[in-house]
Amino acid sequence: MVMKMPSIFVKNARFLVTIDQTRRIIRDGSIAIDDGKIIDIGKTDKLQNNYGSSEIIIDAARHVIMPGLINTHCHTNHHLARGLADNVLFPTWIHERVYPFESTMNEHDVYLAAMACCIESIKTGSTCFIDPGGYNMEHAVKAVDESGMRAVLSRSAVDIHSNARAIPGKMREDTDNAANSSEQFVREYNGAAGGRVHAWFAPRTERMASTELLQRIKELAVKYETGITIHASSTQDSVLRHKEIFNGERPIERFNRAGLLGQNLLVGEANWLTDEEVSLIQKYDVKVFHIPTGSFHGAYGALQSKHLDMIKKGIAVGLGHDSAAESNFLDMFRVMYSVIARRDVNLDPTLAPPEQVLEMATINGARTALWENEIGSLEPGKRADLIIIDTMRPEWLPLHNPISNLVHSASGDSVSTVIIDGKVVMRDRIINTVDEQKMLMQIDEAGLSISERSGVSRYAIPRWPIS
Ligand SMILES: [Zn+2]
């Protein structure tokens, strides 16, 4: 049974940043919520009379209210490998660190890893993330459900094992198994957690999915009216290797031939695309996730990519952090800041204005999640996913321009209260849904244990001696 959510009135915000159609910013703003949805937004003195007796009243004086941030790429399965795969080339990263770690995880580890992502997301102001595929994902669904988070979750589909030496056993499926297991996950979990979980399909990378598998997944995604996410063209090497396997075709060209391109496809990191591939993405309204901080960590080339050009062409480009083994934090404020590195490499300080960056992390993230009708902005009728940010902090003052401060100055630590789907998930930095300290103890223990069991722990030491 779905319980009716309490009515909530958040009032007196110094600025309420709506990111609605007109990008309205309301000084002394308030927002009224009922049964999980936003029902009204406006000046506090206009709304006070109607909503002043709501069940929950939150005084947001000296705070900024904005839509919850949307992290369009978060590998829950990799999360507990934080710090185990730094300063290495990608083949080492994936084959010697991440695959052994991931394939050692048991079901409870998957739950704790996903819970760790949920807790870190909530504490830093993300209200939704997209997981691009893992295994035993029903346990990630459980973590998302319990934490109050919103997420797109998917089960990895892999049927090409060109580097069999390094591909763990459970990833060595044939086309039928990969498609059928993916379908089963979507059938069981799409719409789970009271609608907060959307289940998608996730062929893992361009080189790990056959054309037949891509075609079958496309048919299934259409059948279930859901999305598909896949890694493609993250590195120059990944494009070259793809061309070697597929008769010289580039990834997006093959996706086109397979019929995979469409409005329900989310592709990234997409750092190395030709103009022709960008045109195909635009033509088919394909969505794109951009991962600057993961690229900084692994040196993939995101600062040389065409993501800003894609935005100019109207393509939906969202931001993501990747995994904690790759961009070792989930704080989307730090990810937003990283986008402005474009200014430096191009010697152009007018690039990536903060309004554009904030759109990538909110409304455009919602477009990439195929969820823009319900989240990504604060507007009556949408689900109530919002964050309340404390501005009485040194990095926030003086507060001339809230959009500038959000992108250039803030960190996720300034998020004080988080509401997801009309539920107060965190209030004054205390998470209401789960016992954070107890979970963190278990998360730490699980990470160290998987590291030992997988043998990856030998990489867990600094180069300096520990006495
Ligand atoms: Zn990824």
461 domain residue, yes or no: no
Residues 311, 390 within the same domain: no
* Domain end position, chosen among 368, 393, 423: 368
**Is residue 303 classed exposed, middle or buried when 0-12, 13-18 and 19+ CB atoms within 10 A define those classes?**
middle
Q: How far is the CA of 59 from the centre of ligand 1 (A)?
A: 39
Residues 111, 14 within the same domain: no
**Is residue 371 classed exposed, middle or buried when 0-12, 13-18 and 19+ CB atoms within 10 A define those classes?**
buried
464 domain residue, yes or no: no
Residues 351, 413 within the same domain: no
More confident position, 460 or 3: 460
Residues 57, 132 within the same domain: no
Mean pLDDT, residues 303-325 taken together: 96
pLDDT band at 460 (very low <50, low <70, confident <90, very high): confident
460 domain residue, yes or no: no
307 domain residue, yes or no: yes
Mean pLDDT, residues 380-400 taken together: 98
| Distance separating alpha carbons of residues 71 and 375, to the nearest angstrom | 13
Q: How far is the CA of 208 from the centre of ligand 1 (A)?
A: 13
333 domain residue, yes or no: yes
Q: How far is the CA of 177 from the centre of ligand 1 (A)?
A: 22
Residues 34, 106 within the same domain: no
Say which CATH number the domain at 262 has: 3.20.20.140
456 domain residue, yes or no: no
Residues 185, 287 within the same domain: yes
Q: How far is the CA of 61 from the centre of ligand 1 (A)?
A: 39
Residues 56, 145 within the same domain: no
- Give 239-266 pLDDT, tens digit per residue: 999 999 999 999 999 999 999 999 999 9
| Distance separating alpha carbons of residues 322 and 382, to the nearest angstrom | 27
443 domain residue, yes or no: no
* Residue span of the structural domain in which 231 resides: 69-368
Residues 302, 388 within the same domain: no
As for how many domains the chain has, the answer is 2
Cβ–Cβ < 8 Å for 159, 175: yes
- Give 217-237 pLDDT, tens digit per residue: 999 999 999 999 999 999 999
Residues 303, 239 within the same domain: yes
The reported pLDDT for the residue numbered 5 is 80
Q: How far is the CA of 217 from the centre of ligand 1 (A)?
A: 19
Q: Which residue has the tokens 């080492």?
A: 92
Q: How far is the CA of 29 from the centre of ligand 1 (A)?
A: 38
The reported pLDDT for the residue numbered 227 is 98
The reported pLDDT for the residue numbered 161 is 84
- Give 38-95 pLDDT, tens digit per residue: 999 999 999 999 999 999 999 999 999 999 999 999 999 999 999 999 999 988 999 8
Residues 208, 87 within the same domain: yes
- Give 409-451 pLDDT, tens digit per residue: 999 999 999 999 999 999 999 999 999 999 999 999 999 999 9
Cβ–Cβ < 8 Å for 132, 202: yes
233, amino acid identity:
S
Q: How far is the CA of 4 from the centre of ligand 1 (A)?
A: 36
Residues 259, 114 within the same domain: yes
Mean pLDDT, residues 122-144 taken together: 97
Mean pLDDT, residues 327-337 taken together: 97
Mean pLDDT, residues 265-279 taken together: 98
Residues 158, 49 within the same domain: no
Q: How far is the CA of 78 from the centre of ligand 1 (A)?
A: 9
The reported pLDDT for the residue numbered 168 is 72
Q: Which residue has the tokens 């048919």?
A: 219
The reported pLDDT for the residue numbered 461 is 85
2 domain residue, yes or no: no
Q: How far is the CA of 197 from the centre of ligand 1 (A)?
A: 19
Say which CATH number the domain at 417 has: 2.30.40.10
Q: How far is the CA of 134 from the centre of ligand 1 (A)?
A: 11
pLDDT at 282 over 80: yes
Cβ–Cβ < 8 Å for 56, 8: yes
